[in-house]
A and B are shown apart, each in its own frame.
Chain A
Amino acid sequence: GQQVMQIPQYQHVQEGEDFTTYCNSSTTLSNIQWYKQRPGGHPVFLIQLVKSGEVKKQKRLTFQFGEAKKNSSLHITATQTTDVGTYFCASPLQGAQKLVFGQGTRLTINP
Chain B
Amino acid sequence: NAGVTQTPKFQVLKTGQSMTLQCAQDMNHEYMSWYRQDPGMGLRLIHYSVGAGITDQGEVPNGYNVSRSTTEDFPLRLLSAAPSQTSVYFCASSYWGRDAEAFFGQGTRLTVV
A: residues with CB less than 8 A from B are 1-2, 6, 9, 30-31, 33, 35, 41-45, 48, 50, 88, 90, 92, 97-104
A-B contact pairs, 7 of them (CB 8 A): A2-B42, A43-B92, A45-B101, A88-B43, A90-B102, A99-B33, A102-B42
Which residues of B are found within 8 Å of A101, using beta-carbon distances? 35, 42-45
Contact B99 A50 (CB under 8 A): yes
Q: A30 — nearest CB in chain B belongs to which residue?
A: B98
Inter-chain CA distance A6–B104, complex, in Å, is 21
CB distance from A94 to the nearest CB of B (A): 10
B: residues with CB less than 8 A from A are 31, 33, 35, 40-45, 48, 50, 56, 58-59, 90, 92, 94, 96-99, 101-107
Contact A100 B104 (CB under 8 A): no
- Most B Cβ at <10 Å: residue of A6, A45, A48, A90: A45
- Most B Cβ at <10 Å: residue of A41, A50, A98: A98
Which residues of A are found within 8 Å of B33, using beta-carbon distances? 98-99
Given contacts A42-B104, A48-B101, contact A100 B45 (CB under 8 A): yes
Which residues of A are found within 8 Å of B58, using beta-carbon distances? 98
CB distance from A7 to the nearest CB of B (A): 12
Which residues of A are found within 8 Å of B102, using beta-carbon distances? 33, 35, 43, 45, 90, 99
CB distance from B15 to the nearest CB of A (A): 26
Inter-chain CA distance A41–B94, complex, in Å, is 19
Given contacts A31-B98, A92-B98, contact A98 B103 (CB under 8 A): no
Inter-chain CA distance A30–B44, complex, in Å, is 20
Contact A42 B48 (CB under 8 A): no
Which residues of A are found within 8 Å of B35, using beta-carbon distances? 101
Q: A47 — nearest CB in chain B belongs to which residue?
A: B101
Contact B96 A97 (CB under 8 A): yes
- Most A Cβ at <10 Å: residue of B41, B58, B101: B101
Inter-chain CA distance A1–B31, complex, in Å, is 22
